[in-house]
Amino acid sequence: MKSIILVFIVLVFAGCMGKAPVTDRSQVMLISQNEELALGEKSYKEFLSKAKLSTNKVQISRVRTIGNRIAKAANRKDFKWEFNLVEDDQINAFCLPGGKVIVYTGIMKIAQNDDQLATVMSHEVAHALARHGAERMSHQQISGVVKQLGSILVGSAAPEYAGAFDMAYGYGTQLGIMLPYSRSHEHEADEIGIHLMKKAGYNVNEAIIFWKNMKKVKDGKAPPEFLSTHPSDDNRIQKISETIKKIN
């Protein structure tokens, strides 16, 4: 059984490797780009069917102008870019695979100028460029298969420990793998986003101000970093500052 697990891991890492843009980080992908784009298109249509689109022409134009500049910097001709502003007080934005970008009106209160709004949008576009969603899905698939194989191995060798293994594996992978990967994805999206901002002609120094604004809004309500999918604000600001120093 140990040899089966080892062979599975070797095959996965040998056959499904990719590279993230800008950082050149190695990635394991079990989801094809076509599958990912199809999922993005489906999710986007479902979201729009329930969302309330903004009718503020000035703000819509602002979002689309910034988005088009970022899209040009991203240079992904296979993406069918769309930028929409949704009436929602959530301080949020996201980009689905294929370049479908949604900005919530709530974040417009935090982004005090176009450079700060470009910070948010570049960050979200970076997630899509780096295929973070597909990578997370791939890790979950691998984790599930390894857990099943491990359960079989423990169940046959020491059946009295099978339940304990299942509990420990689930808790361990959540805190030890999935959440840290989420935080690393956030840092990577920040770094890629800064590069996109600069290429699109925006002031990258405003990214630091934007995240300081976000820190004030949270007012110390964020969970401990080791239990969060996002890095702490101070940690994020520090790493963004380091990225800016490298490219300036």
pTM (2 decimals)? 0.78
Query: pLDDT tens for residues 87-144?
Result: 999 888 999 889 999 999 999 999 999 999 999 999 999 999 998 888 887 767 666 5
Domain count within the chain:
1
Tens-place pLDDT, residues 39-76: 888 888 999 999 999 999 999 999 999 999 999 999 99
Q: Which range has the top average pLDDT, 27-36, 209-218, 236-245?
A: 236-245
Q: Which alpha helices (H) appear in 23-75, and where do they start and end?
A: 33-50, 57-74
Query: What is Dmax (Cα atoms) for the chain?
Result: 66
Domain interval for residue 232: 2-247
CA nearest neighbour of 192 among 111, 118, 127, 95? 127
The pLDDT tens digits of the residues spanning 132-180 come to 888 887 767 666 555 555 444 444 444 544 444 344 434 443 444 344 5
